[in-house]
Amino acid sequence: LNGGGSESRGALIVLEGLDRSGKSSQSTRLLSFLEGLGHSTELWRFPDRTTSIGQMISSYLSNESQLDDCTTHLLFSANRWEKRSLMEKKLRSGTTLIVDRYSYSGIAFSSAKGLDFEWCKAPEIGLVAPDLVFYLDIPPEKAAERGGYGNERYEKLEFQRKVGKSYQALRDASWQIVDALLPMDEIAKQMQETAINCVLECQKGKRLSHLWS
Ligand code: T5A
Ligand code: NA
């Protein structure tokens, strides 16, 4: 099956959760697992701080620059749009993408600041829809204990509580809730079973769809 065939596409697997919920740790583990099985797999993350939009976001997050909340929201979204065609191309050519944060982060974090939920959702419409979303569920207090928060703008307990509530409004059938307090290996194992089923479904011809349709 060479690239381009619609018969065998890769899966779009997203990891979401509060800051320090373990997304990056589990993304790496899942990557090794799928690669080990011989699946073409890549690990992506948002924000993608390597682009010029990503650099604006990064300096905002580290408090080096100030930005209006609506502008910030649109930059996070634009940072996904600028990767959209590459994302679709990779998936259609059979590569599975594990993505550390996606549109759900965009909506949950911005609406936790008080921006209108539907307004936050609008610019995400039309991006590739994930086949599977792992939500690493952790009480905000426990997340705060993990190595302590750094200096980034959103790493504050009160704010993370609001983010957690916003996330709840985004759950749909593609979501699998994972107990993020379990030992890392246990979490990895749970995720592997679900992920492999998802990859096989996509290989068998499950169609790509778009947010939110
Ligand atoms: N944002 C992002 C928006 O506002 N809008 C958007 O559209 C997007 C995409 C980006 C920030 O931007 C916001 C959200 C964020 O605030 P980031 O670069 O993604 O931030 O950083 P974080 O998500 O905050 O990443 P973290 O590194 O803080 O958290 P992770 O990746 O969830 O956690 P991880 O794996 O690094 O683990 C954190 C610590 O916990 C331990 C690890 O060893 C590590 O020390 N740990 C565990 N300990 C015990 N048991 C387990 N099961 C553990 N799993 C991990
Ligand atoms: Na991370």
User: Does residue 210 lie in a domain region?
Assistant: no
Ligand 1 contacts CB of residue 123 (under 6 A): no
Which ligand is closest to the CA of 104, given by its number?
A: 1
For residues 108 and 163, what is the distance between their CA atoms, to the nearest angstrom? 5
Least distant ligand from the CA of 152 = 1
Q: Is residue 4 part of a domain?
A: no
Q: Whose CA is nearest to atom 42 of ligand 1?
A: 22
Ligand 1 pocket, residue 54 CB under 6 Å: no
Supply the ipTM of this predicted assembly. Answer: 0.97
State the pLDDT at residue 149.
80
For position 134, which CATH number holds? 3.40.50.300
Output the DSSP codes for 74-91: HHHHHHHHHHHHHHHHHH
The parts of the chain modelled with pLDDT lower than 50 are 1-6
Q: Structural domain of residue 71, as residue ranges?
A: 12-203
What pLDDT is recorded for position 3?
44
The ligand 1 atom at the shortest distance from the C-alpha of residue 147 is 45
* Res 37: pLDDT: 98
Do you know the residue count of the chain?
A: 213
Ligand 1 centroid from CA 101, angstroms: 9
DSSP states of 7-71: SS---EEEEEESTTSSHHHHHHHHHHHHHHTT--EEEEESS-TTSHHHHHHHHHHTTSS---HHH
Residues in Cβ contact with 116 at an 8 Å cutoff, skipping those fewer than 6 apart = none
Give the pLDDT of residue 151.
Answer: 79
Q: How far is the CA of 33 from the centre of ligand 2 (A)?
A: 19
pLDDT recorded at residue 178: 98
pLDDT value of position 7: 62
Which tens digit of pLDDT belongs to each residue from 128-187? 999 999 999 999 999 999 977 877 999 999 999 999 999 999 999 999 999 999 999 999
CA distances from 1 to 5, 6, 52, 93, 203 (A): 7, 10, 35, 9, 10
Tally of domains within the chain: 1
Question: Could you tell me if residue 2 is inside a domain?
Answer: no
